[in-house]
Structure 1
Amino acid sequence: MGLSDALPEDYPTFLAALKVRIRQAQTRAILSVNRELILLYWQIGREIMERQEQEGWGSKVIDRLSDDLRKEFPEVRGFSPRNLKYMRSFAEAWPDPEFVQEVLAQITWYHAITLLDKVKDQMAREWYIQRTIANGWSRNVLVHQIESGLIRREGRAVTNFSSALPAPQSDLARSVLKDPYIFDFLGIGEDAAERELERALIEHIRDFLLELGVGFAFIGNQYRLSIGGREFSIDLLFYHLKLRSYVVIELKIGEFIPEYAGKMNFYLSAVDDLLRHPDDSPSIGIILCKSQNRIIAEYALRDMEKPIGVAGYELTTHLPEDLRGRLPTVDELEEELGRREG
């Protein structure tokens, strides 16, 4: 192969960024078609809600309306009694027409139904809406993020980003990290060794990237660095497209200890020196441990020069999948207790 045929070193990064842009363009095209549908469903829902409140419409009227609309528009799907009730709930949940036009019109109807079914808190719904728009989540990805409790995990890792990175890079980097990470897709036991954990993550790289979040491009595992005549290996190396920086991930099967931070600081210095492009932001390290003492982690990172985060991971979910969504919420339990006490 001649020099002109050789791929440039930054080709993988270029390709990953190009794929992201293409997918974003496809999503925008779909959403532009979807916009009018969202607005129509909201208007129908508002009309139904107003007539229910003013004229006492019941379920029989909804059933009749469904039949009449499907007869008039047989080629149009979406006028089932169930979907008409969703339209009513949709209009009730978001009564502000400006918010519907400017924000909700950027997500699909299936996203909206998912939020109505799975998220009861209005502020949490809007949080997931904003993340869906920003990250281009499909409905299935949104379901995964809701069921894994992303809103409670995002930005909770212990980091030194505020002192090691300039703003707003530090805020963006902090929002990228989670605590804990959920690796319930691996199918390995709690006593798995580090290499077994690493191997399982590589075998399930698609699920791993989904859990890491939008923007991570996988570079390699056991990535070798030659330093001072010796070979060192990084567990997992990524490049983050939004942060424009390399991300070094080290896996630990036990509890976090301060020595891990020193080793990560060493790796980041090497990556910045050997791999980082002049236009890249400082490389970031993530130490994933089975558990961590937040106070010890904060002390370990306090005077570190390089940006490092410490987070935990879970190999199994706390509830069997067939029980998820079937247990009562805290509010429901309190309501039931209140009835019994009364």
Structure 2
Amino acid sequence: MSLRIAARRLALSARAPNNLPSSQTPVWSAGLGPSVQRRHKWSTNLFKGWGKPRTKDNLAATADPVTGQLDDPKNREQFLERSMYSGVEDNIFQDEIEAPQKDASTEATPGAGEMEQKTKENMAMVVDPDPRSRIRWQRKKVIQMVRRNGRLTKEERIVMSERELLHKSEFMPTSVKKLVMLARQIAGKPVDEAITQMSWSKKKFAAEVKYYLEEARDLAIAQRGMGLGEANGETFAKPRKIQTKEGKWIEITDPTRMYIAQSWVGRGTWRGKKIDYKGRGRMGIIRHPSTSLTILLKEEKSRIREYEDSETLKAKKGPWVHLPNRPVYGQRPYYSW
């Protein structure tokens, strides 16, 4: 049985022998006699100094050498001056900062080309981090160009001659089954006609589809210069009549009129879940979906080219023959009846 608290304090307050070092001063434990105090990693007070008033000595001992002394206005000014006006090893544009500014009326200072070359060398690690791979890629492209003798593929000619814009919307709080109906409704229609359809539609998200159609139309005009044929006078003297992929015949007067070549939807992440309570103590989970709408805008010249390609392919096939002239294999040596 251990001593009481008062007796334990009296035993610990007993004087220790003076001939032992301070690290091995015996501590009188209750009922066991003197024991040697040893140091370990938990003997240090981790919370030492907490709660003391902030003085200059404490700040100097605990402050961060970089940002801890920025409370002083003088130290802050010196730190900013060192950071903004550092040497050449810290700032790659130091040569341009220290170089005298050129005047348009005076001649160029000697050594300007050398300074500019040095700046390019300093920037080489950023603009050209892997020069060997770049040279290999350029060599490969030159070999391909020489083998083709400057000829372009059909896909490259289409990309260079026809313009298009791919626009994707944000995820909307609706399902794929509901939004795919609107995507099918506007596919293949001119942009203005699709916007009119969405303006008078009774669907809830028709307004959102109309907003993204208008946004895609404005981006196509501003970024790609699409749909400016009437403004520039690029119209047909006689309307062109073509047949779409759906089998509908249309007349085209402006070859740069924008139409929706493709429109599709994509499933997004679930917006949340809710319990669906059922009978007999059962339940289900209702997940709230999100869906995006993607639109591919093209000009009517692309649709004219596709129609002409399909007609050329039909002409190359020739007339349909009921019994083509080809060898017959696996004939039976007897009648099949």
TM-score norm. by structure 2 comes to: 0.19
More helix by share: 1
TM-score norm. by structure 1 comes to: 0.19
**Rg larger in structure:** 2
